Amino acid sequence: MRALSVSALLLLALGCCWGTQDNFLDEDVVEPVIQASKYGSLWPLPQKVQISDVPLKLSGTTFEFTDAKGSTAGASCSVLQNAYRRYFDYIFGGPKKQKMSRNRRSGPTEVTELQVSITSPDSQCDGYPGVTSDESYELSVDAPVAVLKAPTVWGALHGLETFSQLVYEDKYGAKTINSTKVSDFPRFAHRGILLDSSRHFLPIKVLLANLETMAMNKFNVFHWHIVDDQSFPYLSRTFPQLSQKGAYHPYTHVYTPADVKMVIEFARLRGIRVIPEFDTPGHTQSWGKGQMDLLTPCFSGAAPSGTFGPVNPILNTTYDFMSRFFKEVSSVFPDGYVHLGGDEVDFSCWKSNPDIKKFMDEQGFGQDYSKLESFYIQKLLDIVTTTKKGYIIWQEVFDNGVKLKPDTVVHVWMGSGSDAEMNKVTTAGYTTILSAPWYLDYISYAQDWQKYYKVEPLNFNAETRHTYPRLEGQPGTIPERDGKNYLGRVPDPAVLSLVPEPYLLRPGLAEPLQGRPAGF
Amino acid sequence: MKVMRAVNTKQCVPIIYALLQLIIFYGGRNVVTGVWPLPHALTVFPERYPLNPRTFYFDYGRHSATQQGCSVLDAAFRRYLWIIFPDYTAENGQFAANNSFNLHISTDHNDCENYPNEDSSERYNLSVSAGQASLNAATVWGILRGLETFSQLVYQDEHGSYFVNKTYIEDFPRFQFRGVLLDTSRHYLPVYAILKTLDAMSYSKFNVLHWHIVDDPSFPYQSRSFPNLSNKGAFHPETHIYTQSDARRVISYARMRGIRVLPEFDSPGHTRSWGKGQSDLLTPCYKGGAPSGAFGPVNPALQSTYRFMTALFKEVSSVFPDSYIHLGGDEVDFSCWRSNPHVRVFMQKMGFGGDFPKLEAFYVENLVNITSALNKTSIVWQDVFDYHERRSALSVVEVWKHGCYLCKVRQVTKAGLRVILASPWYLDLPGPTHNWARYYTVWPLAFPGSEKQKKLVIGGEVCMWGEYVDATNLFPKLWPRASAAAERLWSDEKQTSSVERASPRLEDFRCKLLRRGIQAGPLYVGHCKHEYQGV
Q: Note whether B527 contacts A209, CB cutoff 8 Å.
A: no
Residue A32 lies in a domain: no
CB-based contact A281:A372 (threshold 8 Å) = no
B209-245 pLDDT, tens digit each? 999 999 999 999 999 999 999 999 999 999 999 999 9
On average, the pLDDT of chain A sits at 82
Query: Which of A5, A9, A22 is the best mutation test for B, with the most CBs of B within 10 A?
Result: A22
pLDDT grade, residue B90 (50/70/90)? low
- Position A500 scores a pLDDT of 26
- Position A99 scores a pLDDT of 53
* Torsion, Cα of B520, B523, B525, B526 (10° steps): -60
Would you say residue A39 has pLDDT above 80?
A: no
Domain count along chain A: 2
Q: Note whether A22 contacts B529, CB cutoff 8 Å.
A: no
Would you say residue B14 has pLDDT above 70?
A: no
Q: Note whether B535 contacts A252, CB cutoff 8 Å.
A: no
Check whether residue A60 and residue A119 sit in a common domain: yes
Check whether residue A255 and residue A317 sit in a common domain: yes
B275-325 pLDDT, tens digit each? 999 999 999 999 988 999 999 999 999 999 999 999 999 999 999 999 999
Distance CA B446, CA B461 (A): 17
Identify which of A15, A17, A19 has the shortest CB distance to residue B499.
A15
Identify which of A200, A203, A252 has the shortest CB distance to residue B522.
A200
Greater pLDDT, B158 or A162: A162
Find the catalytic residue in B113, B331, B389, B467. B331
Distance CA A487, CA A485 (A): 6
Check whether residue A150 and residue A205 sit in a common domain: no
Identify which of B12, B424, B535 has the shortest CB distance to residue A17.
B12
A166: containing domain: 48-94+106-184
Distance CA A394, CA A377 (A): 12
pLDDT grade, residue A41 (50/70/90)? confident
CB-based contact A287:A233 (threshold 8 Å) = no
Check whether residue A226 and residue A128 sit in a common domain: no
Q: Report how many Cβ contacts below 8 Å link chain A to chain B.
A: 89
Phi, psi of A411 (to 5 degrees): -100, 110
B12 to chain A, any CB pair closer than 8 A? The answer is: yes
- Position A473 scores a pLDDT of 33
- Position A459 scores a pLDDT of 85
Strands B162-171 and B155-156: antiparallel
Cα dist. B270→B27, B225, B295, B377, B427 in Å?
Answer: 57, 21, 11, 21, 20
Check whether residue A402 and residue A311 sit in a common domain: yes
A348-399 pLDDT, tens digit each? 999 999 999 999 999 999 999 999 999 999 999 999 999 999 999 999 999 9
B338-387 pLDDT, tens digit each? 999 999 999 999 999 999 999 999 999 999 999 999 999 999 999 999 98
- Position B288 scores a pLDDT of 85
Residue A8 lies in a domain: no
Residue A16 lies in a domain: no
A480-517 pLDDT, tens digit each? 323 333 232 333 222 222 222 222 222 222 222 222 23
First-residue to last-residue Cα distance in chain A: 21
Task: Please tell me what DSSP assigns to residue A234.
Answer: B
Q: Note whether A200 contacts B535, CB cutoff 8 Å.
A: no
CB-based contact B489:B8 (threshold 8 Å) = no
Check whether residue A290 and residue A354 sit in a common domain: yes
Identify which of B9, B524, B529 has the shortest CB distance to residue A19.
B9
CB-based contact A402:A378 (threshold 8 Å) = yes
CB-based contact B32:B153 (threshold 8 Å) = yes
Phi, psi of A480 (to 5 degrees): -70, -25
B404-462 pLDDT, tens digit each? 999 999 999 999 999 999 999 999 887 655 589 999 999 999 999 999 999 999 999 99
Query: What residues does B396 pair with on adjacent strands?
Result: B379, B418
Domain containing residue A268: CATH number: 3.20.20.80
| Domains of chain B and CATH, by start | 41-171 (3.30.379.10), 177-497 (3.20.20.80)
Chain A positions touching chain B (beta carbons under 8 Å): 8, 11-12, 15-20, 22-25, 199-201, 203, 205-206, 209, 230-231, 248-249, 252-253, 443-446
B282 closest CA partner among B237, B348, B333: B333
Check whether residue A289 and residue A421 sit in a common domain: yes
pLDDT grade, residue B95 (50/70/90)? low
pLDDT grade, residue B99 (50/70/90)? confident
Query: Which of A142, A163, A184 is a domain's end point?
Result: A184
Would you say residue A30 has pLDDT above 50?
A: no
Check whether residue A252 and residue A394 sit in a common domain: yes
Active centre residues of A (catalytic): 344
- Position B75 scores a pLDDT of 97
B312-336 pLDDT, tens digit each? 999 999 999 999 999 999 999 999 9
User: For the ranges A75-79, A422-426, B391-395, which has the lowest average pLDDT?
Assistant: B391-395
Residue A2 lies in a domain: no
Secondary structure class of B521 (helix, strand, coil): coil
Check whether residue A178 and residue A243 sit in a common domain: no
- Complex ipTM over 0.90: no
How many alpha carbons fall within 13 Å on the CB side of residue A464? 12
pLDDT grade, residue A33 (50/70/90)? very low
Residue A127 lies in a domain: yes
Residues belonging to chain A = 520
Residue A478 lies in a domain: no
Query: What residues does B56 pair with on adjacent strands?
Result: B101
Greater pLDDT, A276 or B433: A276
Residue A5 lies in a domain: no
Check whether residue A229 and residue A344 sit in a common domain: yes
A135 burial (CB, 10 Å; 0-12 / 13-18 / 19+) is buried
Question: What burial letters (b/e) apply to B354-391, b meaning 16+ CB within 10 Å?
Answer: eebbbbbbebbeebbebbeebebebbbbbbbbebbeeb
A181 closest CA partner among A36, A58, A39, A35: A39
- Position A478 scores a pLDDT of 29
Would you say residue B475 has pLDDT above 60?
A: yes
Would you say residue A308 has pLDDT above 70?
A: yes
Identify which of A20, A22, A230 has the shortest CB distance to residue B525.
A230
CB-based contact B491:B40 (threshold 8 Å) = yes
User: For the ranges A228-237, A399-408, B129-138, B499-508, which has the lowest average pLDDT?
Assistant: A399-408
Phi, psi of B229 (to 5 degrees): -55, -45
Task: Please tell me what DSSP assigns to residue A51.
Answer: E
A126-185 pLDDT, tens digit each? 999 999 999 999 999 999 999 999 999 999 999 999 999 999 998 888 999 999 999 999
What's the mean pLDDT in B55-71? 95
Distance CA B225, CA B529 (A): 51
Neighboring chain A residues of B10 at a CB cutoff of 8 Å: 19-20
Neighboring chain A residues of B529 at a CB cutoff of 8 Å: 249, 252
Query: Which of B531, B532, B533 is the best mutation test for A, with the most CBs of A within 10 A?
Result: B531
Distance CA B425, CA B398 (A): 12
Query: Which of A163, A184, A205 is a domain's end point?
Result: A184
Distance of CA A187 to the CA centre of its chain: 14
Q: Note whether B527 contacts A444, CB cutoff 8 Å.
A: no
What's the mean pLDDT in B93-106? 77
- Position B6 scores a pLDDT of 34
Query: Which of B435, B441, B506 is the best mutation test for A, with the most CBs of A within 10 A?
Result: B435
Q: Note whether B468 contacts A23, CB cutoff 8 Å.
A: no
Check whether residue A370 and residue A436 sit in a common domain: yes
Query: Which of A184, A203, A230 is a domain's end point?
Result: A184
Residue A516 lies in a domain: no
Residue of A nearest to B403 (CA): A19
Neighboring chain A residues of B525 at a CB cutoff of 8 Å: 199-200, 230
Phi, psi of A384 (to 5 degrees): -70, -30
Domain containing residue A132: CATH number: 3.30.379.10
Would you say residue A74 has pLDDT above 90?
A: no
Neighboring chain A residues of B527 at a CB cutoff of 8 Å: 200-201, 231, 248-249, 253
Distance of CA A108 to the CA centre of its chain: 43
Q: Note whether B535 contacts A205, CB cutoff 8 Å.
A: yes
Neighboring chain B residues of A225 at a CB cutoff of 8 Å: none
A313-335 pLDDT, tens digit each? 999 999 999 999 999 999 999 99
Check whether residue A402 and residue A330 sit in a common domain: yes
Question: Mind telling me how many Å the CA of A36 is from chain B's nearest CA?
Answer: 17
- Position A95 scores a pLDDT of 75
Question: Mind telling me how many Å the CA of A14 is from chain B's nearest CA?
Answer: 9
- Position A463 scores a pLDDT of 53
